[in-house]
Structure 1
C-alpha cells in the first residue's frame, strides 16, 4: 500500500498546491478552484506544517517557490499530466482521433479523397487530417506523417510507400490549344509553372530537365508559386505546364482533370515514407491505417 496518503494532510492539498505553484498567485489559484483566497493560504500552510518545510516564499511582491516547492511542483505537475493522459485513454466517451499530418497537396488530392473507403471498412476509427508546410516529427499531437526521403532511408516505425516519380502535367484544355509536345525540348515553347516550398526541397524545372540531360535545362519558368498546391491549381485552370508528382496527381489524372503531355518521367533516388510515433504505432487502429495507406500508395 502506498504511504502517500499518510504524507499529506489531504489529497485536495495537492490540487491546491499545483494551482498555487503554477499561477504563483493565491488569488488566481482561488478563482481557478472556486474557493476563497484565505482557504488557499490555510491549505498551503497546513501542507507546509505537515511536510515540515516551507514551499513558498511570501513577500510584498507575491509568492515564489522555494527549492523544496520547485521539487514538489515538478513532481506533481508531471504526475498530473500522466494521470490526465491515462484517464483520457480509458474514458469511454473520450473520442480518440488518429492525427495525420501531410502537405496540402497530398492531403487534398490523394489522402482525403480516398479516406471514405477506409472509413467504410473501419467506421469506428476516427481520423484528423492536419496540413503543414514543413516536415514535422510525429509526437504527442501528431500520430503519423508522410516524408520524402532517400530510398535507403530507415528508422523505427517507418514504412515505404512508393517511389518519387516526377513528370509534366497540364489540363486537357491547355494541351488541346497549344502546339504538340514530342520531346522535353519542346517545353521551351510552352508556359511553364514552377513552385518552391520554403521549408521543403522540391524539384524545379531546371533540375528536372538537367537530370534528363535536356538542352533546355536553363529554361526559366513563366510563373512561380511558393506552394505546390497553387502550381497544381494553376495547371488545372489551364495556365500552363507544371511538374507533377505521380502520387499527388494520381486521382486528378484518373479523373482526366490533368494529363501528361509527354511520356517522359523522372524516377528520383527518393521515395515517400509513412512515419509514426512509437506510442501510436502499437495500436491496432494505427496498424490498420498504416496498412491501408501503404496499400493505396503502391496501387497509385
Structure 2
C-alpha cells in the first residue's frame, strides 16, 4: 500500500513565515510582502495550527523563533538556495556565458591572462569572473566552475588539478645586480618583502625557510604588504626579495621584470584545482573552457 504524502502548508503561509523569520518582525515582513501586519500574523497562525506547534515566541513588540521555527527556517533557506541555483543553471543552459570563481590573486595573475588567451580562440564564449578570497561553494553559489586551493579533499564536487603549489624567491634584475645572493644563506641579509595575507598557509618567509630546512634567525622584513599585487609591484620595483608562486608571475615579467636569484623552491603539498558540482552536466561552453584551462595550467607554470 502506497504511503500517503503529507500535504504541504499553503505557500502564502510559508512566504509569510520566511519573511518574518528573516526580518524578525511581522511589521517589516508585511511591508516587504505588501500586506497588512494583521494578514501576516493570520498566515503565521494558520501555519502554526497546520503544523501543530508554535514557530514564534511573541513578546511585546518583538518575536523570536522557537526551536521548531529555527528548524523550519533552516529548511526553507536550504530549499531557496537550491531553487536559486536551479534557476541559474536553467538560465545558463542556452547561454554562451561561463561563470568562474577564483581568489583575487589567482584571478588577477593567472586566470585573466588565461581568459585573454582563451578568448582569442573562442570569441563566441563569454567569461564572467567572480573574484573573492571567500571560498565559493558551487552547490550554493551561481557559478559553473570555481578554482579552489587546498588538498582536494572536498565532498560532492568534481575536481581537476591545475598545478601543485611551489614557492620560491624572486627579485628584480636590478636588485640582484646590487645584492649578492649566491645561496639560501644570503637571503636573511636581503631586504625581504612579506605578504601578510591568508591566500596560502605558506606565504610567510619564516614558514618558507622552515620548509626549506633552514633556521635563518632574525630576518630583515623591509616591507609587509596586505595583498599579492602590492608584493609583486614592490619586487618589480627593486624593493627587495619576495616569495612567488609558480603560477603567480605573468609570462611577460619572467626574466625581465623579475628573476629567480636561486634555484631553491618549496613544494607545500597543496594544489590549485578547478571544481564543479558533482554529477552535474556542464554546458557545452563550460566544458570547452574547463578543458582549455586544464591544458593552459600545464603550459603556464614558471619552472
Measure the CA separation in 1 of the matches of 2:38 and 2:196: 60
* Structure 2 contact 162–294 (Cα < 8 Å) conserved: yes
> Which residue of structure 2 aligns with residue 223 of structure 1?
222
SS in 2 for 1:157: strand
Matched, 1:266 2:268: no
> Which residue of structure 2 aligns with residue 278 of structure 1?
277
Measure the CA separation in 2 of the matches of 1:165 and 1:7: 54
TM-score (norm 1): 0.70
* Structure 1 contact 158–273 (Cα < 8 Å) conserved: no
What's the CA shift for 1:122?
5.8
Measure the CA separation in 2 of the matches of 1:89 and 1:59: 42
* Structure 1 residues 181 and 7: CA distance shift in structure 2, 3 A: closer
Q: What pairs up with 1:138-287 in 2 under 5 angstroms?
A: 138-139=137-138, 140-141=140-141, 143-147=145-149, 149=151, 157-176=158-177, 178=178, 181-185=181-185, 187=187, 190-195=190-195, 197-198=197-198, 200-202=200-202, 217-218=216-217, 220-227=219-226, 229=228, 230-254=230-254, 256-262=256-262, 264-266=263-265, 268=267, 270=269, 272-279=271-278, 282-284=281-283, 285-287=285-287
Q: What pairs up with 1:96-115 in 2 under 5 angstroms?
A: 98-104=99-105, 106-115=106-115
What's the CA shift for 1:238?
1.0
What's the CA shift for 1:191?
3.4
* Structure 1 residues 281 and 297: CA distance shift in structure 2, 3 A: farther
Measure the CA separation in 2 of the matches of 1:272 and 1:19: 42
SS in 1 for 2:258: coil
Measure the CA separation in 2 of the matches of 1:83 and 1:212: 49
Q: What pairs up with 1:39-118 in 2 under 5 angstroms?
A: 39-44=39-44, 51=50, 53=52, 60-61=60-61, 78-91=78-91, 98-104=99-105, 106-118=106-118
- Greater shift, 16-25 or 227-236, is seen at 16-25
* Structure 1 contact 195–225 (Cα < 8 Å) conserved: yes
TM-score (norm 2): 0.69
Measure the CA separation in 1 of the matches of 2:219 and 2:57: 67
Gaps of 5+ in 2: none
Gaps of 5+ in 1: none
* Structure 1 contact 198–226 (Cα < 8 Å) conserved: no
- Greater shift, 52-61 or 115-124, is seen at 52-61
Measure the CA separation in 1 of the matches of 2:274 and 2:290: 9
Matched, 1:292 2:292: yes
State the superposition RMSD in angstroms.
4.4
* Structure 2 contact 163–272 (Cα < 8 Å) conserved: yes
Measure the CA separation in 1 of the matches of 2:6 and 2:200: 53
* Structure 2 contact 96–126 (Cα < 8 Å) conserved: no
What's the CA shift for 1:98?
2.4
Which has more radius of gyration? 1
SS in 2 for 1:249: coil
* Structure 2 contact 167–243 (Cα < 8 Å) conserved: yes
* Structure 1 residues 31 and 162: CA distance shift in structure 2, 3 A: closer
* Structure 2 contact 110–248 (Cα < 8 Å) conserved: yes
SS in 1 for 2:147: strand
User: Could you give the per-residue CA deviations for residues 59-114 of structure 1, whole angstroms, max 9, x where no partner exists?
Assistant: 6555666787667666555544443443343347999762422252x332222232
